[in-house]
Amino acid sequence: MRCADEAREAGQYPTAVSHYSQVLEVDAENSEAYLRRAQVHRLQKNHQSALSDVNRALRIDSKNAEALLLKGEVFEGMRSYKDASDTYRRALATHPGHRDLENALNRVQSKQKAIENPFCAADTMDRLRASSTTKAFMEDAAFVSKLEELRAEPNKLMRHMEDERIVTALAVLMNINFPTPGIYIQYLYTTLLTQSKE
């Protein structure tokens, strides 16, 4: 297993995977080999293989905190934030107070919140100040006040949709590039209307 670890540390991921696989051919119950191979798959962004290996490691040792943390991280890499959050919560039930698991849960909850309300992400104000599209808006106290309201109460978004600056800021935060705010308003209105009917 030492050769596999050395290859992983050297960034020789295919070689590391091969060595871990050889270890597992000899000892199919080696949860550590599955876990380390899963880590390599994750580094390669091969999420399905990473998830498969971490699940095998957990079948052998279901309470392994490192494996539970890695499983959550794999879900995060897949942008399956709910699955990641659920994994971290279940892991914390077994390992209360585990700092890495707590930090991971906080991190993924922030990501979930940012998806639900792009205005509440920690870097919202910085991103809007940095964008050439919205930089001037950020000098207007009334505009910043609207942003603060939306950070606290995202359900008030429709009330502010008449302000093209809000629409433009939302487009910047969601990395959407529409040629004119009017097209974006039409798109967003249709999207929100569809979601409200579900």
pLDDT tens column, 141-152:
999 999 998 888
pLDDT in tens, the chain (198 residues): 899 989 999 999 999 999 999 999 999 999 999 999 999 999 999 999 999 999 999 999 999 999 999 999 999 998 888 899 999 999 999 999 999 999 999 999 887 776 677 787 778 899 999 999 899 999 999 999 999 988 888 778 878 878 888 888 888 887 776 555 555 555 555 555 554 444
Give the span between the Cα atoms of 42 and 158, in whole angstroms: 40
User: Which of the listed residues 82, 116, 150 is the one where a domain comes to its end?
Assistant: 116
Look up the domain containing 193 and give its range.
Answer: 120-197
CA dihedral 97, 100, 101, 102 (to 10 degrees): 60
Task: Identify whether residues 15 and 111 lie together within a single domain.
Answer: yes
Number of domains in the chain: 2
Q: Is 32 helix (H, G, I), strand (E, B) or coil?
A: helix
**What is the CATH number for 23?**
1.25.40.10
Dihedral pair phi/psi, residue 129, rounded to 5°: -70, -35
Task: Identify whether residues 8 and 54 lie together within a single domain.
Answer: yes
Task: Identify whether residues 74 and 148 lie together within a single domain.
Answer: no
pLDDT tens column, 14-40:
999 999 999 999 999 999 999 999 999
Task: Identify whether residues 76 and 152 lie together within a single domain.
Answer: no
